[in-house]
Amino acid sequence: MRRRRIVFGAAILSMIVLGLGVLAVRRTADSAKGADSVKSRGLSPSPSRVLLVGDSLAYQSSGYFKSILAGDGATAYTATYGGTALCDWLPILPALLRQSRPSVVELEFYGDHFTPCSTRGTSASHPLTKAYLVENYAAAARASAIDIRAAGARAVWVVAPVSSSNDPLPLLIAKAEYGASRQIVPSILDNAGSYVLAGGKFTRSLPCLTWEPCPPIDGQHGMAIVRSPDGLHFCPVSVTGAKGQVGRCPVWSSGAWRFAAAMAGPVVGSVSLSNPPTKPPLGLPISHERPGPVSSTSRANSSP
């Protein structure tokens, strides 16, 4: 997660509010049961409006997330931008909530610390520590919870998957956020990242889902690539651009689909991974929103 520091100003954040997109697709069949099913984790009945706020992992999964929720009759709004921390969203979260009017807000952050608010108070003599970073996210969660409560919504704190370093930071971050918010707003902790891990550890590939494209990997059959060559993201091919930016994935992304399905689990009750999505067609890239006044079908770059 070493990237250049991002200056994330109010102007950019305001553009994200304008750029929130909605993607509605037909209901996806969900009759299969068994090992490919993500079980419910506490939200019922299924809400009609959901807001997802997050970093590049949420960005890469957002299109799949929208289509899964639309298949259950819910509308998803997404506000995602690579390299951001939760504190970056505090200035515009009330506006996002007013615009999307969600009953559930999902918040996914790996633990990035590239922006000024995420390192405020640190210096050469007082360097950033993991404990300080976790408390920074917890403080931002407390502030977010107040806004979410005022909007009459519930909070889902998403645990991001570990990177190839297997640093437990994402779990520490999400647990701290959940602990800071649970006394303020109804909250649950969703370990969605575990669905792209093997025994809680990083893995580049997992057994293919029954319906997805499953070409051989180095002569090995039956395995799907779920993580990027950079050891963090989901696209099976490298989409890293200039200055550490990450672009849209040009191929099917099994990891992004699994993570999106797991994030959707608390909302829809149970999402089957045993049936293909109705849209986008298999093997074709899925649309991503970008921070700007664009439609939900626009495509753009984002950094982690």
User: pLDDT 10s per residue in the chain (304 long)?
Assistant: 444 444 444 444 544 544 454 333 322 323 223 334 333 345 544 568 999 999 999 999 999 999 888 888 899 999 998 889 999 999 999 999 999 999 999 999 999 998 999 998 887 878 899 999 999 999 999 999 999 999 999 999 999 999 999 999 999 999 999 999 999 999 999 999 999 999 999 999 999 998 888 888 888 899 999 999 999 999 999 886 543 457 788 889 999 999 999 999 998 876 567 766 655 433 333 333 333 322 222 223 333 4
CATH code of the domain covering residue 253: 3.40.50.1110
Give a yes or no: residue 5 inside a domain.
no
For residues 121 and 171, the answer to whether their CB atoms sit within 8 Å is: no
Give a yes or no: residue 300 inside a domain.
no
* Other Cβ atoms within 10 Å of 121 Cβ, number: 8
Q: How far, in Å, CA of 268 to CA of 67, rounded?
A: 12
Give a yes or no: residue 210 inside a domain.
no
Q: How far, in Å, CA of 54 to CA of 216, rounded?
A: 33
Residues 6+ away with beta carbon under 8 Å from 32? 272, 274, 275
Give a yes or no: residue 114 inside a domain.
yes
For residues 190 and 265, the answer to whether their CB atoms sit within 8 Å is: yes
Q: How far, in Å, CA of 297 to CA of 284, rounded?
A: 13
Q: How far, in Å, CA of 140 to CA of 86, rounded?
A: 6
Q: Would you state the pLDDT for residue 218?
A: 81
Strand residues in the chain grouped as ranges (E): 37-38, 49-54, 75-80, 104-108, 154-158, 187-190, 197-198, 201-202, 205-207, 223-225, 271-272
For residues 12 and 291, the answer to whether their CB atoms sit within 8 Å is: yes
Q: Would you state the pLDDT for residue 28?
A: 30
Among 59, 168, 37, residue whose Cα is nearest residue 108: 59
Q: Would you state the pLDDT for residue 220?
A: 84
β-pair type (104-108, 154-158) = parallel
Q: Could you list the residue range(s) of the whole structural domain that residue 75 is in?
A: 22-203+248-272
Interior/surface letters 203-229, b for 16+ CB within 10 angstroms, e for the rest? bbbbebbeebebeeeeeeeebbbbbbe
Q: Would you state the pLDDT for residue 29?
A: 29
Encoded tokens for 292: 């700007």
* DSSP category for residue 121: T
Give a yes or no: residue 69 inside a domain.
yes
User: Residues, the chain, total?
Assistant: 304
Give a yes or no: residue 299 inside a domain.
no
Give a yes or no: residue 292 inside a domain.
no
| Phi and psi based region of residue 283 (left: phi greater than 0; alpha: psi -120 to 50; beta: remaining) | left
266 cis-preceded (ω within 30 degrees of 0): no
Q: How far, in Å, CA of 112 to CA of 119, rounded?
A: 10
Give a yes or no: residue 239 inside a domain.
no
Domain count, the chain: 1
